[in-house]
Amino acid sequence: MSAPISKTTLDYRDVYPCPICRHGDLSALLMTEAFSCNFCRHIFTANLEENTVRVEDSSQPLNWRWNGRSWQAVHRDDLDLTLVLWIIGGVLIVFPPSLVYVICQSIRPPFAALTSLIWTTVTFLFHTALVLWLLAEHYHFAPYVSGKAQLRTWLDKRAEKL
């Protein structure tokens, strides 16, 4: 991984750290006006006048501004989507375990309280993991993206050996 450069303006001839995975390097794609990461393989378009890049191969239009040493996230105005995502996540974490608990209490005899607690806990943990995964995908959480890229690299190497 190359050291971050100190120029404050973006240039297609330079190499920059990846703002998503923070592990790879962004370099220009040949014969295009775009960057790509050599680790997570995301493609970015650049606005050289504003020193910003935007990820193009994602469902979320994420933007970053280059300050000469690192990337700063450019805040988006899609607050409605973010609010809906958090509300749905909260409902997914709270409602199913509550429903399991109420059903277990109504159909199980009182001496099976441990069974209902186990089922409620398993449901809560599973739905929490699901919501955390969705949030990591939505916000491109750097350790998650890096881990996903490392897993893909490991699987590719393993497939080559077979």
- The pLDDT assigned to 7 comes to 65
Mention every residue, 6+ apart, whose C-beta is less than 8 A from residue 52.
Answer: 10, 46, 63, 64, 65, 66, 74
- Euclidean distance between CA atoms 11 and 67, whole angstroms: 13
Q: Which value, in Å, is the radius of gyration of the alpha carbons in the chain?
A: 22
Amino acid at 16: Y
Q: What is the pTM of this model?
A: 0.57
- Residue ranges of alpha helices (H) inside the chain are 79-107, 113-139, 142-161
Of 62, 64, 63, 48, nearest to 10 (Cα)?
48
Task: Give the pLDDT of the chain (162 residues) as one tens digit per residue.
Answer: 444 455 678 888 889 998 888 888 888 888 888 899 888 888 898 888 888 998 888 766 788 889 888 888 887 655 566 788 889 999 999 999 999 988 888 876 765 778 888 999 999 999 999 999 988 887 777 788 788 888 888 888 888 887
- The pLDDT assigned to 85 comes to 83
Q: Taking the domains of the chain in order of start, what are their residue ranges?
A: 16-74, 79-161
- The pLDDT assigned to 95 comes to 96
- The pLDDT assigned to 89 comes to 92
- The pLDDT assigned to 106 comes to 81
- The pLDDT assigned to 40 comes to 84
